[in-house]
Amino acid sequence: MGDDAVCESGQLAKTNLLGLSRGELTDFFVTLGEKPFRAQQMLKWIHQAGVDNFDAMTNISKSLRSQLQQCAEIVAPEIVTQQDSTDGTRKWAIRVTGGSLVETVLIPSDGDRATLCVSSQVGCSLDCSFCSTGKQGFQRDLTAAEIIGQVWLAIKSYDGFNQGNRRVVTNVVMMGMGEPLLNFDNVVSAMNLMLDDFAYGLSKRRVTLSTSGVVPALDRLADVSEVSLAISLHAPNDELRDQLVPVNRRYPIAQLLASARRYIDKQSDTHRVATIEYTLIAGVNDSVAQARELALLLKDFPCKINLIPFNPFSMSDYQRPSKNAINRFWQVLVDANFVTTIRSTRGDDIDAACGQLVGQVADRTKRSERHRASYTDSEPVKFVL
């Protein structure tokens, strides 16, 4: 097949190969009349060597390279700012097509491990009462290229590709901006690349999808993915959860836990558990009585619990509980035999902690004022950066 044949296919925009999973890349090359193994070569060039220029792909013939120049591209979103915290956390503001900004955070942990917190949407429609992303309203889904592009850029930023050290990122959590299950196909494609041995080769235990509980999508996920699961619970009963996590009114706790259990039961390896995330907010969900109620609720549910002290942001009146209150809550759960961790607040000095993402950018655009106005009117909140 010559160059003309490709362009005769009526394709107007170039295909961005960055976001294509192995299956999609295989289809792409077969359409070009090429052998399927080209997909593996391309994955390695893009995701293991960090190459975004077809000319550098020395094991691909010149004629195929020039064909690719015409109908394909490898384009990552653009880093706008990079901030380093005193604790080693690094946060990037990333501009995606159309000009919106999302954030990605790399959090180093013990030894040479680091967890990358990746965004899946610009804003979020689910409007949890304690979340700054929710306060922005929903703008749009990220493409698969924009999601995996965050991993690609993070590694590039550390020069990990050049040093052959793409293991700079050892874990990925889909806990940045947005609800990943509301951007199902693109998130699944991107997670497939994270797991693919020809791309990032992460173990399924080291890729975690966090959801506030879109039950039908979680049921679908069980059919196509085996990544680790985190459930954002935040309340021990429906009455309180309805207030904090409005999607609970549609899919209450019992349905959510049943769906999470189905997900875990479907996994091929035994002893999998879900992580229950519980953001502790002073005077709202942090009492000893609520800790006991939570222990009772989760009595037979296979999980570990991660307590996240609330991270304040400018548009919220909520407060972080005292250390004592956090420890008391933790102790009740530990006494009830739950493996329970308290998330240390990282990147505080650069607003990189959970629920604070794009706080600074938002303030710069005076979005907070607009937000308040919208809320007084109880209108659905939508912002454009």
Contacting residues toward ligand SAH, per CB under 6 A: 130-131, 175, 179, 210-212, 232, 277, 279, 308, 310-311, 354-355
Q: Which two tokens stand for residue 46?
A: 């893009």
Pick from 16, 133, 150, 225 the residue near ligand SF4 by CB under 6 A: 133
* CB closer to ligand SAH, 131 vs 168: 131
| 286 scored as a contact of ligand SF4 (CB under 6 A) | no
Catalytic residue (one of 8, 73, 354, 379): 354
306 binds, among ligand SAH, ligand SF4, none (CB under 5 to 8 A by kind): none
179 lies in the binding site for ligand SF4 (CB under 6 A): yes
**Residues 289, 325 contacting (CB under 8 angstroms):** no
**Beta strands 101-108 and 114-117: pairing type?**
antiparallel
Known catalytic membership, residue 303: no
Residue of minimal CB distance from ligand SF4?
Answer: 134
Task: Based on the residue annotation, tell me whether 179 is a catalytic residue of this protein.
Answer: no
DSSP state of 246: G
Give residue 160's identity as a one-letter amino acid code. G
Query: Minimal distance in Å, beta carbon 95 to ligand SF4?
Result: 20
- Least Å distance, CB 179 to ligand SF4, is 4
Helix (H) or strand (E) holding 103: strand 101-108
Please, are residues 26 and 39 in contact by the beta-carbon 8 Å criterion? yes
Q: Per the structure block, which two tokens stand in for 286?
A: 């942090």
Q: Which residues of 168-184 are buried (b: 16+ CB within 10 A; e: fewer)?
A: bbbbbbbbbbbbbbbbb
Q: CB-wise, 20 or 118, nearer to ligand SAH?
A: 118
Q: Which of 62, 73, 68 is nearest to 6 (CA)?
A: 68
**Which residue has 């809320």 as its token pair?**
375
Distance CA 360, CA 369 (A): 14
Kindly report the number of other CB atoms within 10 A of residue 138's CB atom.
21
Partner touching 127 among ligand SF4, ligand SAH, none, CB below 5 to 8 Å by kind: ligand SF4
By beta carbon distance, the residue nearest ligand SAH is 355
Nearer to ligand SAH by C-beta: 67 or 136?
136
Report the residue number, 17 or 280, with the smaller CB distance to ligand SAH.
280
Instruction: Characterise 328 by phi-psi region: left (phi > 0), alpha (psi -120 to 50), beta (else).
Output: alpha
Question: 116: which strand partners?
Answer: 106, 172
Q: Which is nearer to ligand SF4, 134 or 149 (CB)?
A: 134
How buried is residue 25: exposed, middle or buried, by Cβ count under 10 Å (0-12/13-18/19+)?
Answer: buried
How many CB atoms are closer than 10 A to CB 124? 23
128 binds ligand SF4 (CB under 6 A): yes
Query: What is the smallest separation between the CB atom of 315 and ligand SF4, expressed in angstroms?
Result: 12
Residue closer to ligand SF4 (CB basis): 43 or 307? 307
Cβ 127 to ligand SAH shortest distance, Å: 11
Q: Does 131 bind ligand SF4 (CB under 6 A)?
A: yes
The position carrying tokens 């189905």 is 262
- Residue-level length of the chain: 385
Q: How far is the CB of 135 from ligand SF4 (least distance, A)?
A: 8
Comparison of 136 and 267: residue with beta carbon closer to ligand SF4: 136
Q: What's the burial of 374, exposed, middle or buried (CB within 10 Å: 0-12/13-18/19+)?
A: middle
Which of the following is catalytic: 34, 103, 146, 179? Answer: 103
- Please choose, out of 12-20, 127-135, 185-193, 282-290, the segment that lies near ligand SF4 by the rule CB under 6 A: 127-135
Residues of span 207-246 touching ligand SF4 by CB under 6 A: 212, 232
Name the nearest CA neighbour of 144 among 33, 46, 262. Answer: 46
Least distance between ligand SAH and beta carbon 317 (Å): 12
- Smallest distance, ligand SAH to C-beta of residue 172, A: 13
Residues at the site binding ligand SF4, with contacts judged by CB under 6 A: 124, 126-128, 131, 133-134, 178-179, 212, 232
- As annotated, the active-site residues are 103, 354
